[in-house]
A = this chain, B = another copy of it.
């Protein structure tokens, strides 16, 4: 599609600034508030024995938290990625980078991504768009470029139909996405056998999606459901024209809430599930894991913190870890495996959702 490298850069900068300064979050919620963990009055554990460590994609994480891939391709994005890398290195967590297409198209931008490897050997996840494998006929060579660019431990392929349809510059062809099966398989055979993650960008995957992703042999699904950053809201702020604004407003609440998407995917998919989209506390993380996730991704609060400095990112993540540990103490879970088995209640709309769909 006809857009210049410069246009991509400008859009990326706009997105960062809008997320920093404006309300870009869904009016509707993640539905995690419809999940209630059950207090254990007797607790039965020693807080100091609590272990939050997990292993993910071959690397150890000190807690089931990754910073979701958000940005790249711009000077500010480089700074953001650097700060996130320093923070996750400090805390023993993992991170993703934003869509690497900018650097695939323009090699001058590679350093805005691979800066992360100057600061951490921890888990780093690469990121490419599913739509480009169709529209731009990308193949395993592009994947190889992206992986090598940042020495990626795993590769996320993002699916973003809403984002594409609402951007004036969007790519609109998601037909034949099952060709990804062969491309990924070829990549693994010819290059490296690293895990691949199918990732949404804030509207969630349905169970129908999960079946398709399973057939493509994705090793993990990062559900990124609704309730956090709304791309329709971000675009609404970027766009001047009244009629497009009016149209966008119809879709600002489109998408599957995070908690609902976790239940949808879990019902048909047995591999690794990452819960993300509107994760705003360690209590949210505890809930996601209790209802079926292996790990959680955090984005917007980290983006905001990263613009202030890496120490701010550390602070936010430390608070999440502490909250997670308190929640584990109060439900009497000594480690993440026990947290996965803790009882919970599902109420309200989430309960209705589950009863009708699963």
User: Within A189-235, which residues are at the interface with B (CB < 8 Å)?
Assistant: 198, 200, 203-206, 208-209, 212-213, 226
Q: Find the B residue at minimum CB distance from A342.
A: B208
User: Within A270-317, which residues are at the interface with B (CB < 8 Å)?
Assistant: 281-283, 315
Inter-chain contact A45/B175, CB cutoff 8 Å: yes
Given A46-B173, A161-B330, also A206-B41 (CB < 8 A): yes
Given A39-B256, A174-B44, A347-B352, also A322-B247 (CB < 8 A): yes
Instruction: Please indicate which of the listed interface residues A203, A250, A351 has the most CB atoms of chain B within 10 Å of its own CB.
Output: A250
Given A165-B329, A243-B315, A319-B247, also A46-B209 (CB < 8 A): no
Q: How large is the interface on A (under 10, 10 to 19, 20 to 34, 35 or more residues)?
A: 35 or more
Bound-state Cα–Cα, A175 to B213, Å: 43
CB distance from A225 to the nearest CB of B (A): 9
User: Within A319-358, which residues are at the interface with B (CB < 8 Å)?
Assistant: 319, 322-323, 326, 329-330, 332, 343, 345-349, 351-353, 356-357
Inter-chain contact A209/B40, CB cutoff 8 Å: yes
Given A39-B206, A41-B204, also A47-B247 (CB < 8 A): no
Chain A interface (Cβ < 8 Å from any Cβ of B)? 38-49, 130, 159, 161-162, 165-166, 172-175, 177, 198, 200, 203-206, 208-209, 212-213, 226, 243, 246-247, 250-251, 254-256, 281-283, 315, 319, 322-323, 326, 329-330, 332, 343, 345-349, 351-353, 356-357
Bound-state Cα–Cα, A38 to B44, Å: 40
